Amino acid sequence: MNKAFTREPEGEGDDDEAVLPQVPPGTRNYMTPQGYARLRAELMQLIDEERPKVVEVVHWAASNGDRSENGDYIYGKKRLREIDRRIRFLTKRLEAAEVTDPSVHHGSDQVFFGATVTYADGEGQERTITILGIDEADSLNGQVSWISPVARALLKARVGDAVRLVTPAGVQEIEVLEVRYPAAPA
């Protein structure tokens, strides 16, 4: 059959967006004010700058005639779908966001969202993590999502408490050594 008479599915050839963590059903999408501002800035940049540029390129490429072998047109349409997918994702995440300022707990010794916690495992090895929102966490920088197993084990614990952490290697006990929160903005 001639290619001109076949319709390819809209997303064919696109890599599906990376599997992103989902907010557990029945819970809120907690986020710090900084994380909310970062996602909102990305959304505005996509809407106000990047998408209009790509639309302009696609329009120019379409006006050149034969679209079937026009690389600018084909790539532009693909990039436009990627941008639109990201815009939809960011819009949904921001609409569901529950902005929580961790500085309200400044001086507390109990672990809540936004805390930077230092804990020791059974061998005495110390680790420091910051508990953040799903869209903010960066494990390479010691940041974990509030839905991660270690964060769930630590939430509501106080300095000196020993909590049970369930891992694939088994259950281990960890002790909370220090809890810090950012100071309130002046």
Q: pLDDT digit string (tens) for 155-174?
A: 999 999 999 999 888 899 99
Write the CATH number for 58.
1.10.287.180
Cα(174)–Cα(113) distance, integer angstroms? 18
pLDDT tens, 44-90? 999 999 999 999 988 888 887 777 777 888 899 999 999 999 999 99
Q: Which of 99, 119, 154 is the last residue of a domain?
A: 99
User: Does the global pTM surpass 0.85?
Assistant: no
Residues 165 and 137 in one domain: yes
Q: Which of 83, 99, 115 is the last residue of a domain?
A: 99
**Rounded to 5 degrees, what angle do the CA atoms 5, 8, 9 make?**
145
User: Tokens at residue 16, please?
Assistant: 């599906």
Number of structural domains, the chain? 2
pLDDT tens, 35-54? 999 999 999 999 999 999 99
User: Tokens at residue 15, please?
Assistant: 């890599």
Residues 94 and 110 in one domain: no
pLDDT band for position 22 (cuts 50, 70, 90)? confident
Residues 149 and 86 in one domain: no
Residues 168 and 121 in one domain: yes
For the cut 50, the answer to whether the pLDDT of residue 17 exceeds it is: no
Note whether 147 and 165 are within 8 A (CB): no
Residues 129 and 168 in one domain: yes
pLDDT given for residue 60 in this prediction: 87
* CA-atom Rg of the chain in angstroms: 23
Q: Which of 41, 73, 99 is the last residue of a domain?
A: 99
